[in-house]
Amino acid sequence: MIQSTRGAVQPVLLFLMAASVSCGDDVVGSTSDSDGASDSDAAATTAGPTGSESEGEPACAPGEQQACACDGGAAGLADCLDDGSGFGECQCPEPACGNGQVEEGEGCDDGPANADDAACTSACQPASCGDGLVHAGVEACDDGVNDDSYGGCAPDCSLADYCGDGAQNGPPDAEACDDGDDVNGDGCNVDCVVSGTPLWTDVYPGEDAGNSIAHGVAVDSSGDVFVVGETFVVGENANIMIRKYSSEGELLWSQSIDGPGGGVDAARGVAIDREDNIVVVGEVFEAGNNADIWIRKADNDGNELWTLQINGDDGLGDAARGVAVDADDNIIVTGESYHLIGLTDVWTAKFGPEGDEWWINEYDHEGGNDGGYGVSVGQDGQIFVVGGAYAFIGLDDFFLRSYSPVGVIEWTQTIDNWGGVDRGRAAAVDGEGNLVMVGETYTPDDLTNIWIGGYSAVDGEQLWVEWFDSDGADNDIGYGVAVDGDGNVVVAGSTYAIDTLADAIVLKYSAGVEPLWQQIHMGPAGNDRALAVAVDAYGNIYAAGSEYSAGDFANLWLTKYAP
């Protein structure tokens, strides 16, 4: 007889199940002591640390992640276990400034909003006056010292006295003026220097006893200044002179060039191309030819690149007086060419960057002496030439002409004011592309006055005019003109006063032709002239010409003025 043992082994199985399932073993189990229970009546579920799995169904897929919370509330990630039974431990980011959680050693943490000008700095410290960082909208300044020194910061992170606060203050000589605005040329500049103040002056007597005169000035892209003219050298007569200065007035180099004939040689104008090469024009004397037109291109250190010497058709006296460079580094020169019949004519030519001739044009007005003195390049390569044209009745008239880039004459104007000598001496282009001409005009009561006029680029019609008459009731002449980046017009010339003879004068006008300031330079012995003017990228003004000393010859004169 076979006996069943099921009832006998059941207590043993229950004991084993109780031993294998216990609280804390990460397994949820159950037992039943109900009558009739079987193995299929008992169900068990296992779970990972953060998940659960029914038998045969994984809690997650390998590679799956779920968000979890870290201490302090930071967000972390938990990875699914390899067997899919659940998610592993929460992986929390390392403590770091900028994670948005205030951690040990941090006073604040605004996450991406942390910044050195914000309430919470990039070092996760609260902004505070004295930390050397300016809290935007809260502090006006913070230099970390905050000792209320001039130009510095006060203890409460407000501005101490400074240039531009509208009050003249600070150490001695710190401010000559302070009008509180950010406008140059209105009497007080943004650096608290009086508009038009001479900043430095150089006077050069030449290497030998004789005249040294500056006829042209230009500024390169680095702010260095080039002055050209003539200087006397024993045994060589007058030589072409080229000098380079730093913006602070230091002489960088100087050249004296003797022409081929040992006669009177002079440079009359200078221009700068895009590579900061210099183009110098003037005249050189050669026996048998009298004076010839002279054009030289040199690099910024004065090394010759090429030179042209041009003898007019009749082999008589020719001279270049003005030069300009267009946007493609082409060179435009104006001056005069002498003819046996008809005296001198206006001579204008265009050359390529390597000195190749593009075109030449001459103008004879009424058979007298005509000459080009100034040239400038406008928009789209338009060329303006100004000078004097002889009229049989009335002496010289103003001469203005516009050329296309290929030399086509677009318009010509001759202007007679009061029947005397009217002559354009220099040309510039304003911000609208119109011509600005400076020169001299005769008036019956005051002799000659400085003339400043604006003319339409389209047809040469006069747009505005201004003239300057000194108290001396004598000859006042404008020799040079420049237009700065704000459209202000700067004029260089000479003016007569009853007790000082000729003085150099520099005049500045607004873009609306309102007088801004004037400066008069009186040398030791009178007869001083500002013959050329240039402006740099900051609006500083360089005037060049000559001054006389008692018992001496003319000396080169160069002065830098505040805007």
Read off the CATH number of the domain in which 280 is found: 2.120.10.30
Task: Please say whether the beta carbons of 428 and 451 come within 8 A.
Answer: no
Q: Which residues of 96-106 are buried (b: 16+ CB within 10 A; e: fewer)?
A: ebbbebbeeeb
Residue 28 lies in a domain: no
The Cβ of residue 485 has, within 10 Å, a number of other Cβ atoms equal to 11
């339409």: which residue's tokens?
456
Predicted local distance difference test score (pLDDT) of residue 494: 97
Domain that holds residue 228: 198-561
State how far the Cα of 226 lies from the Cα of 217, in Å rounded to an integer. 6
Q: How buried is 24 (Cβ within 10 angstroms: 0-12 exposed, 13-18 middle, 19+ buried)?
A: exposed
Query: How many independent structural domains does the chain possess?
Result: 2
State how far the Cα of 27 lies from the Cα of 501, in Å rounded to an integer. 115
Predicted local distance difference test score (pLDDT) of residue 26: 43
Query: Both 91 and 212 in a single domain?
Result: no
Residue 488 lies in a domain: yes
Q: How buried is 74 (Cβ within 10 angstroms: 0-12 exposed, 13-18 middle, 19+ buried)?
A: middle
Task: Please say whether the beta carbons of 215 and 531 come within 8 A.
Answer: yes
Residue 441 lies in a domain: yes
Predicted local distance difference test score (pLDDT) of residue 204: 97
Angle (CA) 398-401-402 rounded to 5° is: 155
Residue 284 lies in a domain: yes
Query: Both 311 and 432 in a single domain?
Result: yes
Residue 553 lies in a domain: yes
Residue 335 lies in a domain: yes
């009832």: which residue's tokens?
7
Predicted local distance difference test score (pLDDT) of residue 11: 34
State how far the Cα of 154 lies from the Cα of 145, in Å rounded to an integer. 9
Q: Which are the contacts of 125, defined by CB distance < 8 A and separation ≥ 6?
A: 106, 107, 108, 131
Residue 103 lies in a domain: no
Predicted local distance difference test score (pLDDT) of residue 1: 35
From residue 262, alpha-carbon distances to 240, 282, 290, 465 in Å are 11, 15, 11, 43
State how far the Cα of 543 lies from the Cα of 481, in Å rounded to an integer. 10
The kind and range of the H/E element at 357 are strand 357-363
3-state helix, strand, coil in the chain (%, to 5): 5, 45, 50
Predicted local distance difference test score (pLDDT) of residue 33: 42
Could you state, in chain order, the average pLDDT of each consecutive group of 10 residues for the chain (563 residues)? 35 33 41 39 36 67 90 81 91 86 90 97 97 97 96 97 95 94 93 97 92 98 99 93 99 97 94 99 88 98 98 84 99 93 90 98 89 98 97 84 99 90 97 98 86 98 95 84 98 85 95 95 91 98 94 93 98
Residue 13 lies in a domain: no
Query: Both 354 and 490 in a single domain?
Result: yes
Predicted local distance difference test score (pLDDT) of residue 528: 95
Q: Which are the contacts of 336, defined by CB distance < 8 A and separation ≥ 6?
A: 318, 319, 321, 344, 345, 346, 347, 369, 370, 371, 372
